[in-house]
Structure 1
Amino acid sequence: MAADVLVLGAGPAGLAIASELVPLGLKVVGLAADDPASPWQNTYGIWADELDQLNLSHLLEYRWSNCVSYFGAEPVSLGRDYGLFDREKLQGHWLGRSAGMSWRRGLAAELSHDERGSQVTTRDGDVLTARLVIDTTGHDPVFVRRPVLGPVAAQAAYGIVGTFSADPVPPGQFVLMDYRSDHLSEQERLAPPTFLYAMDLGGGRFFVEETSLALAPPVPIEVLEDRLRRRLAHRGVAVVHVQHEERCLFPMNLPLPDLRQRVMGFGGAASLVHPASGYLVGSLLRRAPGLAAAIATALAGGDRSGAQVAEAAWAALWTPELVRKHGIYQFGLEKLMRFSEQELRQFFSTFFALPEAQWFGFLTNTLSLSELVAAMVRLFALAPADVRWGLMQPKGREVSLLWRAVRG
């Protein structure tokens, strides 16, 4: 075999898993359309404690302690630090750890398997072989298969990095969610709600982004841009200079892939995006080491077939407990997508009134299954009657999603 592992894609997921495989002594080859060192455009946020626990806080470009949300007129202090990655440092961290691998330029076109491994043929006709292929090409992957279980909801956002005629948020502040909608008409408030995600970047620069939590079909980017500019204008803020525009659209409630398939997935291709919060990078950092170790162990058994190596990899990435938690998160998102603006305000006000360990663990997917259930039970008990009724009332796929979560 030409390689132990062939990684398809050079985004965060591809570099994250490659950076854990190479130090284990495996021969890793990457295939990507662009240079793996090409600059990334999107911003990546994370709760700073996640990096502190991994001794990786030096990868942050910005860190805020004054973190708030608005579910009413007054700000709710979150009491946790939040950060934005320095994209160049994060990319360099992973590239440095994977420096022993080789990269090929091209796009994968065909995949075949034999007893020992897999073969990928590129659009240019090049053939690459490996004991295991890992597809990290995003939520619409090249080879990873997943079942179709209904409409896929997407989080959509339109953002601006730039300078403004007045501060969009107070100096030194980070705003996770601002659901205030006094800039909208009464009729517009009946439409799917959106919120402001914003932060002071220092030096007179700010990042402001209008976001839809999730919806199927998604809120159009044009609507989000219009709402953002109207929100700013309502507060007497005008855009002076646009340094960067960000348009984000990614699925939130993708079903899990077929865990029996021969090609492995990681990142969005493996449905690792948090179904309730949209976070991904923290999960990549936490779960890549365990997956890499399981792959190395499986490959060390020279008598294992390619199918057995893939089976061991999938089992390490999606344990029965993680599968059940994923189902619970999907159930929760299905509920939230059907909430009105007022119900969402009440829900999140109750959610962030939970003990920090519970809401933080929920958003980062670091609670055990029993802890996750306990947090949800506590939230239900504390929530206003309208929210409790909304959580109980079946309006869509909630029953089937909950049943799949229980079944695992």
Structure 2
Amino acid sequence: MPTDVLVVGAGPAALAIAAELAERGLAVAVLAATDPRDPWSNTYGIWGDEVDALGLGHLLEHSWSDTCSYFGSGSSDPADPANSPTRHGRDYGLFDKTRLQQFWLERCEAAGVQWIRGLAEELSHGSGRSQVRYAPALAADVALIEARLVVDASGHKAVFVQRPELGPVAGQAAYGVVGRFTAPPVQPGQFVLMDYRADHLSEAERQEPPTFLYAMDLGQGRFFVEETSLALAPPVPYATLKQRLERRLAHRGVAIEQVEHEEFCLFPMNLPLPDLDQPVLAFGGAAAMVHPASGYLVGALLRRAPVLAAAVAQALRANPAAASAELAQAGWQALWPPELRRKHALYQFGLEKLMRFSEPQLRAHFSTFFSLPKEQWYGFLVNTASVPELIVAMLRLFATAPWNVKAGLMGMQGRELALGMGLILTR
């Protein structure tokens, strides 16, 4: 079957871009070692305003209006002001994983996407086209598929995408449990974005990399609780996160009664942008689209897949004989225009600083961050603010932050200088 675009991968990014490309009349094939219909294991959250703007509220399994965080040091006394929550005043939602997957699968199948089971092994380019050799799932020999363009959507450990080596990659790790508990781990009907209270840890442990609780009431006596950390290199081990979660719960008189699902998450937060001149395109984690400051991805997939697909389709219509390199270049320019590259550098600049913050600095930083006007912190977290708007928000944060945060922000160590120059020199 003649193929315009071959998408490599089977996760959210692969299905999102395959659906958009096929709906624009392109012949699309998806090559994956696993079945794209296999259930997804991870949970995907999104802010209510973001999903409403996309018109996809029907894909949510849960939503919360009572959204908050805890940035105090915490204590055993419920009356301690350190136990007072920071109210966010914005709705938050959790996708129904099955419904989200079906949303993309049904669009792919309706638009004629071809499914190919196999392990991608080698990419070459000849006569203006791309050839991928792969090991079919049900055959011993290798096979070959040719396409006008290859889009690697195989995740942050991309099969074909090349990117520069710029030092250690920091990962955000998390260990979570969906289940039932002897007592509610959060208030009924509540979503907790970050709980940095650490009164369950010794003074020595509080000198170690900080972790926080991300938790939500799923209704009918079920809760999701997850211990996580900001990006670190190396990341916090799962065993440490699990132990801290259990101790955090026990300190508040809560024990896990029934485990329905365990979640292990590890994803890079500061991947360098790919080489934007290579003749293969990328999407999702393979394209470094994970938000370096917040870790969010699904909202970006939903917003940016139509833009990328439109650019590739337009390039094909404009020049039906276009080579893979030309089509990839049109895609890269649409996916990572100068504005988004500047924002990526700005977010990574900030992340470099936060990775060195102590627990008191992080608590003070986030307390200050969420005291900014809602539009400022929201635009920062979901990557919808412009570069000037981000800079205004960062300057306001610096002006209102306590001195220990100011000191951490002013220090220039690690890769901040190179990232700052990248922000200035991006064209």
TM-score under structure 1 length normalisation: 0.99
User: In the TM superposition, what whole-angstrom CA distance separates every residue of 1:99-144 from its partner, at most 9, and x where no partner exists?
Assistant: 1111000010011002421000002411111100000000000000
Look up the equivalent residue of 2:406 and give its one-letter code: R
Distance in 2 separating the partners of 1:267 and 1:285:
10
User: In the TM superposition, what whole-angstrom CA distance separates every residue of 1:350-395 from its partner, at most 9, and x where no partner exists?
Assistant: 1001111110010000011111111111111111111111101123
Q: Which range is displaced more, 282-291 or 299-308?
A: 299-308
Match of 1:402 among 412, 416, 420: 420
User: In the TM superposition, what whole-angstrom CA distance separates every residue of 1:55-75 from its partner, at most 9, and x where no partner exists?
Assistant: 101000000000000001210
Matches within 5 A, 1:20-99: 20-72=20-72, 73=82, 74-99=84-109
Q: Which range is displaced more, 115-124 or 152-161?
A: 115-124
Gaps of 5+ in 1: none
Distance in 2 separating the partners of 1:216 and 1:405:
23
- Counterpart for residue 108 of structure 1: 120
- Counterpart for residue 386 of structure 1: 404
TM-score under structure 2 length normalisation: 0.94
Match of 2:371 among 337, 353, 358: 353
Matches within 5 A, 1:97-136: 97-99=107-109, 100-123=112-135, 124-136=141-153
Contact 2:280 2:324 in 1 (8 A): no
Distance in 1 separating the partners of 2:66 and 2:411:
37
Q: Identity percentage over the alignment? A: 66
- Counterpart for residue 257 of structure 2: 240
1:404 is displaced (CA, Å) by 1.3
Match of 1:330 among 335, 345, 348: 348
Distance in 1 separating the partners of 2:18 and 2:48:
24
Look up the equivalent residue of 2:372 and give its one-letter code: L
Distance in 2 separating the partners of 1:190 and 1:311:
47
1:174 is displaced (CA, Å) by 0.3
Look up the equivalent residue of 1:215 and give its one-letter code: L
Look up the equivalent residue of 1:379 and give its one-letter code: L
- Counterpart for residue 310 of structure 1: 328
Look up the equivalent residue of 2:424 and give its one-letter code: V
User: In the TM superposition, what whole-angstrom CA distance separates every residue of 1:256-293 from its partner, at most 9, and x where no partner exists?
Assistant: 00000011100000000000110000000000000000
Matches within 5 A, 1:150-299: 150-299=167-316
Distance in 2 separating the partners of 1:386 and 1:180:
18
Give the length in aligned residue pairs.
408
Distance in 2 separating the partners of 1:191 and 1:407:
36
Cα RMSD of the aligned pairs, angstroms, is 0.9
Contact 1:209 1:228 in 2 (8 A): yes
Look up the SS of the partner of 1:243 in the other structure.
strand
Distance in 2 separating the partners of 1:336 and 1:404:
19
Contact 1:109 1:121 in 2 (8 A): yes
Contact 1:115 1:306 in 2 (8 A): no
